[in-house]
A = this chain, B = another copy of it.
Amino acid sequence: MDTDYNRIAGGSVERIAALSDGIFAVAMTLLVLDLRVPVAAAIHGEAGLERALASLAPHLLVYLMSFMTLGIFWVGQQTQLNHLARADRDLAWIHLGFLFAVTLTPFSTGLIGSFIADWIALAVYWGNIVLLGAGLFASWRYATRAGLIRPDTPADIHCAMERRIMVAQALYAVGALLCMVSTYWSLGFIVLVQINYVLAPRVLGLNRL
């Protein structure tokens, strides 16, 4: 009755990484299910297929946006895990919470694909991004306090990691607020922020955001 189960549970960084890669892989591929192949019976002639594909364009854009979202958070999570010496059960649960937000992404993506002009859909999508950011922030904060970080990690990486998440979330919040003008402005701004994080251009110091 003496050994605490919680002391020995969830200690493998490799297993957390493997589950994460699996969930990211499934979520990224499920996004495509929202791109529905037009039903053959409803299409008349080649112009019909062209029109049907053109009407998929907003779904394709939203899909691309969500793929970038997941890519950015996948890179962020693996960067954190690379710096961990070990894990414990609390950290495992923080990452499971983060992965819960990942599995919500196909839903919130489908919602905004169908209701692109509706601020409620945008609010749900933004809430999803906030959850993802909060998960990574909590994971790094906890890992630092619990002494799970690899000892050879330079001290200034701690600031870089937390600052990165805060700045990104602030930019996403600005994007969400733009929906007071129009949800298209919101989505455009969010996509610009994401393209900046993907390309990390070395002009104007934008890669330091």
CB contacts (< 8 Å) of A81 on chain B: these are 15
Q: Are B26 and A22 in contact (CB under 8 A)?
A: yes
Complex Cα distance, B30 from A106, in Å, reads 10
- In the complex, whether A32 has a CB less than 8 A from a CB of chain B is yes
- In the complex, whether A23 has a CB less than 8 A from a CB of chain B is yes
Which one, B5, B32, B156, contacts A160 given CB within 8 A? B5
Q: Given that A6-B207, A29-B27 are known contacts, is A120 also in contact with B22, CB under 8 Å in the complex? A: no
CB contacts (< 8 Å) of A121 on chain B: these are 49
Question: A190 CB to closest chain B CB, in angstroms?
Answer: 18
Which one, B28, B75, B110, contacts A89 given CB within 8 A? B75
Complex Cα distance, B11 from A38, in Å, reads 40
Question: A186 CB to closest chain B CB, in angstroms?
Answer: 15
Which one, B12, B25, B30, B163, contacts A82 given CB within 8 A? B12
Count this chain's copies in the assembly: 4
Chain A: how many interface residues by the 8 Å CB criterion?
A: 83
Q: Are A3 and B119 in contact (CB under 8 A)?
A: no
- In the complex, whether A55 has a CB less than 8 A from a CB of chain B is no
* CB-based nearest B residue for A113: B37
**Interface residues in A25-45 (C-beta closer than 8 Å to B):** 25-33, 35, 37-40, 43
A residues in contact (CB < 8 Å) with B? 1-6, 8-12, 15, 17-19, 21-33, 35, 37-40, 43, 46, 49-50, 53, 64, 67, 71, 74-76, 78-79, 81-83, 89-90, 92-93, 96, 99-100, 103-104, 106-107, 110-111, 113-115, 118-121, 124, 154, 156-157, 159-161, 163-164, 198-200, 207-208
